[in-house]
Amino acid sequence: LDDRDGAIWLDGRLVPWREARLHVLSHGLHYGGSVFEGERVYGGRVFKLHEHSLRLVASAREMGFTLPWSAEELDAATREVVAAAGLAEGYVRPVAWRGSDTLRLVAPGSSVHVAVAAWPWPTIFTEGPRGIRLSTSRWRRPAPDTAPVRAKTAALYALGSLAGQEAEEAGRDDALLLDHRGRLAEATGANLFLVIDGALHTPPPECVLDGITRRTVIALARERGLGVVERHMEPAELARATEVFLTGTAYEVQPVTAVDALDYPVGPVTVALREAYAKAVRGEESGGPARGAAPAVA
C-alpha cells in the first residue's frame, strides 16, 4: 500500500504517496493516540463527507486532542485528494495522530498530524448480494467506562483485528462481537441488524460505533414504513431473526448468511434496503440529511 504513485494530503499539502511518512517515536504508534475515518467515493463524490469529517473531529476530542483543522477544512482536503487522484469509485482514509515530540503518555501540548489518502475501490453493488458468514468472537466490545468506545480510534481496533483474524482462521468471513454484558454488538467494521417480524432491530450505539451507514439505513427503512427498534438483544434472539445484515461504509448493506450454526437467506428486507442504499450513495434518494446532522460522537 505504501509503494504506489499518487498523492496523499499530509498536514496541509499534497505530498508524493511514497513520502507520506511518520516518525517511529510517534505517540500515535505507541499509545493509540490516533483516530481515523473510512469514507467511500461514488461517482466522484464522497458520500456523507461532512458527517465523516465531524466524526473525525469528535473522535480526536474524545481521545483528548484537538485537530488543527476544522471539519470544513477536512472536507476541502478530502475533495482535493479525490480530485487529484481523479477517483470515480474509491475509498478514503483520513487519519490523525499525536506526533513524536514526546513519548510521555500524557502529552497535552503534543503536535497532531493529519493525513488523507484515497485509492480506487470499485463498488460491491455490481457484484450482487453474496452474503457473508460470521462467527461469534471471544473478544467483546468493552463498556463505555472501560475504553473510549465512542471514538473511532486505533486504540480500539486491536480488538477488531484479533476477532477478525480468529474468524478467518475458523473459515468465516468476519466476527460478530458481543458487548461487555454478552449482548449482540457489531462486526469488526460494521453495525448489526436483525429482521424480526418484518421490523429492523439493532443494538443502540452505546458501546458500538455510531455508524453513518447505520443512520442512513435507519432513515431509508423509516421512509419505507419499516419499523426500526434500537434495543439491547441477547444472542438467543438470533434464532428469531429471519434475516441478518451488516451496515458500514466498506460493507455497504451486506447480507449475513450465517452466524455460527444458524443460516439465513438473503431476504427481501435486506435486498430492498441494499438497493435503496445503492441509490442513496449516488444521491438518487435522500437517505437522511447529507449534511448538518452531526453524529453524537464516533
The verdict on 129 binding ligand PMP (CB under 6 A) reads no
The verdict on 248 binding ligand PMP (CB under 6 A) reads yes
Catalytic annotation present for 152: yes
Burial of 110 (0-12, 13-18, 19+ CB in 10 A): buried
Taking the complex as a whole, the smallest distance from the CB of residue 181 to ligand PMP amounts, in Å, to 18
Q: State the pairing for strand pair 228-230/199-202.
A: parallel
The verdict on 153 binding ligand PMP (CB under 6 A) reads no
Q: How far, in Å, CA of 245 to CA of 206, rounded? A: 19
Contact with ligand PMP (CB under 6 A) among 190, 200, 241, 256? 190
Q: In 3D, which of 213, 170, 208 has the Cα closest to residue 42?
A: 213
The verdict on 78 binding ligand PMP (CB under 6 A) reads no
**Catalytic, out of 48, 140, 152, 274:** 152
The verdict on 186 binding ligand PMP (CB under 6 A) reads yes
The verdict on 267 binding ligand PMP (CB under 6 A) reads no
The verdict on 209 binding ligand PMP (CB under 6 A) reads yes
The verdict on 179 binding ligand PMP (CB under 6 A) reads no
C-alpha to C-alpha distances, 95 to 7, 54, 256, 258, nearest whole angstrom: 15, 13, 29, 33
CA 196, 212, 271, 255: dihedral to nearest 10 degrees? -70
- Residue 168, C-beta contacts closer than 8 angstroms, at least 6 positions apart: none
The verdict on 257 binding ligand PMP (CB under 6 A) reads no
What is the b/e burial string over 146-169, where b = at least 16 CB atoms within 10 angstroms of the residue's CB? ebbbbbbbbbbbebbeebbeebee
φ, ψ for residue 241, nearest 5 deg = -75, 140
> CB-wise, 212 or 280, nearer to ligand PMP?
212
Taking the complex as a whole, the smallest distance from the CB of residue 142 to ligand PMP amounts, in Å, to 12
The verdict on 249 binding ligand PMP (CB under 6 A) reads yes
Number of residues that bind ligand PMP (CB under 6 A): 15
Angle between helices 212-223 and 268-280 (to 10 degrees): 110
The verdict on 94 binding ligand PMP (CB under 6 A) reads no
Q: In 3D, which of 190, 135, 142 has the Cα closest to residue 165?
A: 135
The verdict on 212 binding ligand PMP (CB under 6 A) reads yes
Longest dimension (CA), the chain: 56
Taking the complex as a whole, the smallest distance from the CB of residue 107 to ligand PMP amounts, in Å, to 25
> CB-wise, 186 or 243, nearer to ligand PMP?
186
> CB-wise, 99 or 203, nearer to ligand PMP?
203
Residues in 23-42 at the binding interface with ligand PMP, rule: CB under 6 A: 38
DSSP state of 204: -
> Which residue numbers are catalytic?
152
Contact footprint for ligand PMP (CB under 6 A): 38, 160, 186, 189-191, 208-209, 211-214, 247-249
